[in-house]
Amino acid sequence: MTEPVPIRRARLAVLALLAGSVAAAAFAEPPPVHPIRAGDLLGLIDAHGKVIVPPEFEELKPGDPLILVRKSHRVAYLDYRGSMVIPPQDALDQPFAEGLAPMPMKDAQGRMKYGYVDAQHKTAIAPAFARAEGFVDGLAIAGVEDAWGAVKYGLIDRGGKWVVPAAHDKVLPHSGGVARVESKGKPPRLFNREGRDITPDGTDFIGIQSEGMVRIWSGRKQGFVTTAGQLAVPPRFDQADEFRNGLARVWVDGKYGFVDKTGKLAVPAKYDTAEAFSDGLALVKLGGQTQYIDKQGNVVLRLEAERAYPFSEGLAVVKRGGRYGFIDKDGKLVIEARFSHARPFSKGLAHVSLGRMSGYIRPDGSFAWKSEP
């Protein structure tokens, strides 16, 4: 296969300009960042509100260890200080994840295939794939063409070895060392990190992994299997959600409660509405009253508000008088209800809006960053 001119030109440019541009180092967890926007253009601030990437890009995806940014049809990569590491080019166009990124390159026979490069632009996994995605928990979705030219998908490890063979029509987003696969005319299957099929008999649908548990459906009933393949909670609930803070919300006889990882009702199913546990508490409603309960079902806080949201990082958004503010776990309004919109705290900051202005506030209510008026 003749290499397309644009890809060849971009690949050669990258090789010429970037070799050795990133110092060899063990990859650390990327620092916390927050997206900012100016019109339709995107940027980033750090946890202190400092702009590290000005809002001037059409696409922006934080990765590990570099940030992907795009203008027009060209992609560049920045470090978490905002310095350009890989200049605008056409060869790489996917985010780095766990130190690697998929890239089209020639294989030993001169055919264009996907392999993986590291942030020093060295080949980490030889090109062998028709499709390739980023790594998650040490595994990546990859595909190869079958004899008919159709792409079949599986999972590879960081050595490029197949963990789940490329024999499936689709591999769904995975985490926690388990993967969900689908093929036309066949029931969905669940595979573990060793490539073993751990799907319980009678499974009709498979949810996402959370806290080592995967929600499954059998008929119209829901239960949970562990990532080790143990059927921990046989499907018996009409409704269920993923585990959060060690408990999962379930629906029993028209009421909400919470089960532990053995399927035992840790909090009785008596609530009219309930949110998943967050920050150790769950937001519920009983008899028209809004409450926050702990994992034993004890009422920690009763609240009068037009609307309330789950706790995050010690604070919860509430709506009072048509405006949004934040309460602490004692119910004290610690950030005045003055915002037209507010989101929960995450990585030390919370996004808020006040009229046409938006920004991020600290836990004391002061602005770390705000948009131009």
Residue with tokens 């605008």: 88
What single-letter amino acid sits at 284?
Answer: V
The predicted-structure confidence for 87-109, as pLDDT tens digits, reads as follows 999 999 999 999 999 999 999 99
Res 372: pLDDT:
82
Question: Among 43, 45, 91, 83, which Cα is nearest to 65's?
Answer: 83
Q: How confident is the model at residue 7 (pLDDT cuts 50, 70, 90)?
A: very low
Percent share of the chain, pLDDT over 90: 89
Res 29: pLDDT:
83
Q: Rounded to whole angstroms, how far apart are CA atoms 168 and 80?
A: 37
Q: How confident is the model at residue 19 (pLDDT cuts 50, 70, 90)?
A: very low
**15-24, 47-56, 63-72 — which is least confidently predicted?**
15-24
Q: Is pLDDT of 5 > 80? A: no
Q: Is pLDDT of 20 > 60? A: no
Q: Which residues of 40-63 are buried (b: 16+ CB within 10 A; e: fewer)?
A: eebbbbbeebeebbebebeebbbb
What single-letter amino acid sits at 36?
Answer: I
**17-31, 235-249, 333-347 — which is least confidently predicted?**
17-31
Phi/psi for 13 (5° steps) reads: -65, -45
The predicted-structure confidence for 313-339, as pLDDT tens digits, reads as follows 999 999 999 999 999 999 999 999 999
List of residues 6+ apart from 8 with CB closer than 8 A: none
The predicted-structure confidence for 266-308, as pLDDT tens digits, reads as follows 999 999 999 999 999 999 999 999 999 999 999 999 998 899 9
Q: Which two tokens stand for residue 22?
A: 């990133």
Question: What domains, with CATH codes, occur in the chain?
Answer: 1-129 (no CATH), 308-370 (2.40.10)
Q: What is the mean pLDDT of residues 231-255?
A: 97
How far from chain centre, in Å, is Cα 196? 24
Res 266: pLDDT:
97
- For 328-344, the DSSP string reads -TT--EEEEEEESEE--
Res 28: pLDDT:
66
Q: Rounded to whole angstroms, how far apart are CA atoms 153 and 174?
A: 13
Phi/psi for 241 (5° steps) reads: -130, 170
Q: Is pLDDT of 121 > 70? A: yes
| 256 C-beta neighbours (distance < 10 Å), count | 23
The predicted-structure confidence for 188-242, as pLDDT tens digits, reads as follows 999 999 999 999 999 999 999 999 999 999 999 999 999 999 999 999 999 999 9
Res 369: pLDDT:
97
Q: What is the CA radius of gyration of the chain?
A: 24
Q: Which two tokens stand for residue 279?
A: 């920050």
Averaged confidence pLDDT in the chain: 92
Q: Rounded to whole angstroms, how far apart are CA atoms 304 and 292?
A: 12
Residue with tokens 């049809």: 73
Question: Among 181, 187, 214, 191, which Cα is nearest to 201's?
Answer: 187
